[in-house]
Structure 1
């Protein structure tokens, strides 16, 4: 089969021929219908050799959907031909976190050598994908896998972040979304569907701000050194109850910390390499700062339920497997509207 692999530290990924995998006992093989690209893939491929821990060659793609193609011995609960999405943050399956579906918080996965697809295990930007356990599959039903595959991360991650701060998002509250790309534009829709908050979106150009307004932001501001002051003005000097930073770079974190209200919450979702200064005098009184990671299996089911009801959607651009390296180049350049989706089987 053909797959997109990261083969050499510092070099771009390339399409290669590899052996088609066979499912072992308990495993499921998917014929991949769609795979999403993510800035976290870029983060992985930007790591220097001494910091890279994901193995080489690495088949990329941690957002995946496919048709069940073959079952390993003992697999029940799915049938060949089922259309499914892949829950990405695989855990041990038996600890307290995994027992409640929060495999994203499994404390034992790394020590056991368990890694998500595309982030250690072979990923979804390939013609076929092995899924380690049926519990990591969620039925798509009549949802279009191409248009919805990115919800496995670009929907699940903002949903998880927003669910945690829901008590802050009462009527009359304000939520700031920094970065309106792949995750942020879905986050805006989730905020509008689940809360009564006013949503203020920040990004770096008019095209991205236009997308933010299209998907429901009440206000759209340039993300610059003046953004925090403008948010304070819009909130009567109080600041926002919730700030969701989907970039995570030093300047955006500074804006987030300068925008949050007392007793508010900052969610640093993006992995842009920035860090927050937290402490007495640096953080508004009783404000919380949190770093969410992906989401639980039950939250993915809820996200897909929202898609079934038409409450959220993902803006996408599609690419063939041969075009996948170019898609990563465009992602790096900030030239993707919403999310890039690769179709490994056409």
Structure 2
């Protein structure tokens, strides 16, 4: 089968032939990929930023946002059958550790992360686990929802954590209306009555944000912090969701956060430096976010299949993976890039 393989860091991945995966264990599931998202994390993987944390043997197949159809199942699989349409939770888990039993399965001590620490889904087929499969309406096209597997669940997870803070009359700021942010805006609009302010440097992204539910949009032109403070009467926002967290956005996010408010860090790549006095004197909170739970992915798919959360995508054939990576890196993708084998 064809797969997108990374042979070395700071090198572009290449499409090449590799053996098809097959079921080996009782809970194994082989998926025929119908859509694989191209994520900024893939850019960070290529740059070597995940090498120390994951240490995958090279070469390996990247791709951690995957949806498709069940091709083969192990002997103990009962939740899906051959032919079912599924989206995959990005971290197959054990189901037995304390984190899994507490419903925090993305912190499973035995989890794997296909596409980061092992072969992923930018390929014709992917080996995964029954525990990762969320069954979808057969009418759902995998290429239309694949990026919800990571970008979607990550955005939804952060918004869901923030819900108790976003009662009517509060304000949520979204920094970055791109691949993750445009999903976060829709989740906020679907689940809260908060005022939504979106900050981005790209006018097209801000235009899309307005269509998706933003009440106010702010151009990141160097005066964005003052603009947000103006929109909030000088107080700042109760919740700031930073889907960028690099190139200076990580400094803006905390400054836009109101006293006793919460700054949710979802994007990464930058470095947050805040005087401890500024934290304790204002009781502002920093909240980290990574992926989300299996149940949150299932909840998000209910919103998606009801039309309340939609992905804005640009599709590429698998053979054009290098073009998709280059377009994402250059900022030419609005929403998400999807590879379709």
User: TM-score scaled by structure 1?
Assistant: 0.94
Deviations 1:229-288 (A, max 9, x none): 111111111100000000111510111111000111101100123224252135661211
Superposed displacement of residue 121, structure 1 = 1.8
Matches within 5 A, 1:36-185: 36-47=37-48, 51=52, 53-106=55-108, 108-109=109-110, 114-131=111-128, 133-141=129-137, 142-185=139-182
User: TM-score scaled by structure 2?
Assistant: 0.95
Deviations 1:106-161 (A, max 9, x none): 2x23xxxx421101121111000001x21110011132211111111121111110
State whether residues 279 and 285 of structure 2, in contact with CA within 8 Å, keep that contact through their aligned partners in structure 1.
Answer: no
Secondary structure of 1:177's counterpart equals strand
Deviations 1:17-73 (A, max 9, x none): 001111112201111111111001111111279747232112111000111111223
Superposed displacement of residue 15, structure 1 = 0.1
C-alpha spacing 1:221/1:284, structure 2 compared with 1 (3 Å): farther
C-alpha distance in structure 1 between counterparts of 2:198 and 2:30, whole Å: 40
Secondary structure of 1:304's counterpart equals helix
Secondary structure of 1:93's counterpart equals coil
C-alpha spacing 1:239/1:284, structure 2 compared with 1 (3 Å): farther
| Partner of residue 261, structure 1 | 258
Matches within 5 A, 1:164-243: 164-243=161-240
C-alpha distance in structure 1 between counterparts of 2:241 and 2:278, whole Å: 21
Aligned length: 338
| Partner of residue 11, structure 2 | 11
C-alpha distance in structure 2 between counterparts of 1:284 and 1:343, whole Å: 51
Out of 93-102 and 122-131, give the one that drifted further. 93-102
CA root-mean-square deviation: 1.6
State whether residues 260 and 284 of structure 1, in contact with CA within 8 Å, keep that contact through their aligned partners in structure 2.
Answer: no
Please say if 1:323 is aligned against 2:320. yes
State whether residues 9 and 48 of structure 1, in contact with CA within 8 Å, keep that contact through their aligned partners in structure 2.
Answer: no
Secondary structure of 1:280's counterpart equals helix
State whether residues 73 and 82 of structure 2, in contact with CA within 8 Å, keep that contact through their aligned partners in structure 1.
Answer: yes
State whether residues 160 and 295 of structure 1, in contact with CA within 8 Å, keep that contact through their aligned partners in structure 2.
Answer: yes
Structure 1 residue ranges (4+ consecutive) displaced by more than 3 angstroms after TM superposition: 48-52
Deviations 1:266-316 (A, max 9, x none): 011001232242521356612110110000000000000001111110100
C-alpha spacing 1:64/1:285, structure 2 compared with 1 (3 Å): same
Secondary structure of 2:292's counterpart equals coil
Give unmatched runs, 5+ long, in structure 1: none
Secondary structure of 1:147's counterpart equals helix
| Partner of residue 28, structure 2 | 27
